[in-house]
Amino acid sequence: MAKLLVLVALLGLAGCSSEETVRSEWWVTDPPAGSDFEIVAHTGWDGCDSFDRIEVAETDESVEIRTFFTKRDGNCTAALTYGLVPVSLSEPIGDRTMLGCVRGTSHAVSARTDASFGDCRDAVRPDVIDLSEN
């Protein structure tokens, strides 16, 4: 019986350090031009989370960008973290629709699971955060 309790306790401790990769919000601070530009991505909460990856899907009509961060259980602070993420397209963006960003001017951030925000060039957010010194 004692061995079973120790095993249950160890399994419980192992579950405390879980990780989950979630989609994050992003936006542009300037309208993008060319094939190389930067976006601002929510990278999680300070102390726990970290940027994971960017995914870019291009067609003749659109460019869809998705960003992800790794969410970890732990002693997170209430500070949201953001980062500049470089984007490299195979061809200049031109007049293609840009998809996958967050719209509006709210500072509240939550992971989004869809890309129904419309053309991201219509949602430029220069006022949200300045990462020029980071």
pLDDT given for residue 107 in this prediction: 37
- Number of domains forming the structure of the chain: 1
The answer to pTM > 0.75 is no
Domain that holds residue 72: 19-123
Q: Specify if 100 maps to a domain.
A: yes
Distance (Å, rounded) from C-alpha 41 to C-alpha 57?
17
128: confidence class by pLDDT, cuts 50, 70, 90 = low
DSSP class of residue 1 equals -
Q: Specify if 79 maps to a domain.
A: yes
Average pLDDT over residues 8-20: 48
Q: Specify if 133 maps to a domain.
A: no
Q: Specify if 14 maps to a domain.
A: no
105: confidence class by pLDDT, cuts 50, 70, 90 = very low
Distance (Å, rounded) from C-alpha 9 to C-alpha 84?
41
Q: Where are the beta strands (DSSP E) in the chain?
A: 19-24, 26-27, 36-45, 50-58, 62-72, 80-88, 97-99
Q: Specify if 35 maps to a domain.
A: yes
Q: Specify if 117 maps to a domain.
A: yes
106-122: b (≥16 Cβ within 10 Å) or e = eeebebbeebebeebbe
